[in-house]
Copies of this chain bind each other. A is one copy, B any other.
């Protein structure tokens, strides 16, 4: 069986230690990387993940639970929700981590994947008398014992988007089983823009969309160690990524924290039977995707935490510029807050309205989760624009840190970039660089582009809202009020609320 060799991780330090000495086949800007824990471009993403362990140490009520499988305290990211409150607490932890890191801390995909898989494996078993759910529970218990990081690998590279997986010219354009043995299966293919894989311990590989009967080999869900044989990683570039290679800590904007996205290529990588949680049940692929995206779209509440940082930075720089009393400045901060709280409120509303699946695991409301994520595809862009507005043009024209440190030129910068008397020029520059980082630079990738496309691009939410919006029910409401006689066949069902409204009008 597989290499379950990680001792329980009890702290951020344990976590950092756990990443050392692994052999990964990883390329970054054309070069192999031996040790991710010392690479300046990768380190900030490891720090962001480590923050999830640090929060567990500092605020255990927020960031941990007692595992029902082991009885020990573990990260909330490994917990399967037993109640709507559990769903809500995920959101609260997410916002807090967004505040503390100002970036994507990359651990939600795995959390949402285990929650989705919990109920889907249960329902596959129910339909096909398989035993995926028990296998999954065993896997999950192991994870709880290790208190480790699970990544979720879902997004296939997709090739020609008008063709099904089995119809592609190259069969590898969706991850698939290439070979079966008595011990397990071998998979090939690639997952694109994988958030937080290199700093994880295991990945859950899952299909990316609805599959048909000819796509059976693509209907594979399984767990695999990040350092398994047959996996190649190519690190994704981010705006301003090489600033992390420069000396100093100003121009990089946020010296400590950053996101991470990589391409993950499987070349006959092995998954043992015990870690296979779907194999061929193509008709459950859509359900998995639905459940996962419901959880994950509401997980974007994390961006309200990053938004708190953006608002704070904008307010700070306005103060440093000496204009914080102007009514239009204050009004823009209110607007940013209004938008930011909308992201938070719609997300937690989806969680609060959560309900039990047959497996007992709680699922959030999909309509509100999609409403939340759809706002996330727009509001951070507007918040970001307003932050640049408050920052002033200097955010994009400022001299470099090396200039500031230059013996001659540095004096000129300190003289001329002085704002309010009490604020050192360097502090003002630091705050402006943080805003650059969040709106154009490295963490703009997480705050903006990932907000747009993560958990599904805008149109994916619109499709889902269209599926859930119950027009028949709403048309009946209007028909009755307009004084139109309902046709007999519709009158009969006038009291049917449909799934969404049934949940809405159910006593809390």
- A124-165 vs B, CB cutoff 8 Å, 1 = contact: the mask equals 000000000000000000000000000000010101111000
Contacts of A341 in B (CB 8 A): 346, 367-368, 371, 465
| Known contacts A434-B478, A482-B430, A236 near B397 by CB under 8 Å | yes
Contact residues in B for A394 (Cβ distance below 8 Å): 192-193
A53-112, CB < 8 A from B: 59, 61-62, 85, 88-89, 92, 95-96, 99-102
Least CB distance from A54 to B in Å reads 13
The verdict on A204 contacting chain B, using a C-beta distance below 8 Å, is no
Known pairs A240-B240, A430-B484 / 9 extra A-B pairs, C-beta < 8 Å = A27-B403, A27-B409, A172-B416, A190-B416, A242-B246, A338-B371, A344-B368, A389-B452, A440-B448
Point out the residues of chain B lying under 8 angstroms from A330, CB to CB: 466
CA distance in complex: A173, B420 (Å): 12
A478 touches B431 (CB 8 A): yes
Closest Cβ–Cβ distance, residue A29 to chain B (whole Å): 4
A12 interface contact, C-beta 8 A: no
Contact of A234 among B238, B250, B399 (CB under 8 A): B399
- How many Å from the CB of A479 to the closest CB on chain B? 6
Complex: A350 Cα to B348 Cα, angstroms: 10
Complex CA gap A504/B347 in Å reads: 13
Contact B403 A234 (CB under 8 A): yes
A419 B159 Cβ-Cβ under 8 A: yes
* Interface residue? A170 (CB, 8 A): yes
Across-interface contacts of A59 in B (CB, < 8 A): 505
Query: In this assembly, does A218 line the interface, its C-beta being within 8 Å of a C-beta of chain B?
Result: no
**Docked-complex contact B161 and A321, CB < 8 angstroms:** yes
Give every chain B residue within 8 A of A378 (Cβ-Cβ).
Answer: 385
Can you report 30 A-B residue pairs in the complex whose CB atoms are below 8 A from each other?
A: A59-B505, A88-B508, A95-B505, A101-B481, A102-B481, A162-B322, A173-B416, A236-B397, A238-B397, A242-B243, A255-B483, A263-B413, A309-B474, A312-B479, A315-B471, A327-B327, A331-B462, A333-B466, A334-B469, A338-B462, A345-B345, A349-B352, A381-B385, A388-B448, A389-B458, A393-B453, A430-B482, A433-B482, A434-B478, A440-B448
**Number of contact residues on A: which range applies?**
35 or more
Q: How far is the CB of A467 from chain B (nearest CB, A)?
A: 10
Copies in the complex: 4
Q: Does A477 contact B (CB under 8 A)?
A: yes
Across-interface contacts of A484 in B (CB, < 8 A): 427, 430-431
What residues on B are CB-neighbors of A155 within 8 Å? 393
User: Does A492 make an interface contact (CB < 8 A)?
Assistant: no
Q: Contact at B449–A30, with CB atoms within 8 Å?
A: no
The answer to the question of A476 belonging to the interface, with a C-beta cut-off of 8 Å to chain B, is yes
B323 and A397: CB pair below 8 A?
no
Chain A 434-469 interface 0/1 with B at a Cβ cutoff of 8 Å (1 = within): 101000110011001110111001110010011001
A270 to B424 alpha-carbon distance, docked (Å): 31
Q: Does A328 contact B (CB under 8 A)?
A: yes
Pick from B157, B240, B346: contact of A342, CB below 8 A: B346
Name which residue of chain B comes closest to A95, CB basis.
Answer: B504
CA distance A471 to B323 in the complex (A): 15
With a CB–CB cut-off of 8 A, which chain B residues contact A348? 349, 352-353
Q: A322-B162, A399-B234 are in contact. Are A96 and B505 (CB under 8 A)?
A: yes
Q: Is A249 an interface residue (CB 8 A)?
A: yes
- Nearest B residue to A321, CB-CB: B161
Question: When the two chains form the complex, which single residue of B367, B402, B482 contacts A254, counting CB atoms closer than 8 Å?
Answer: B482
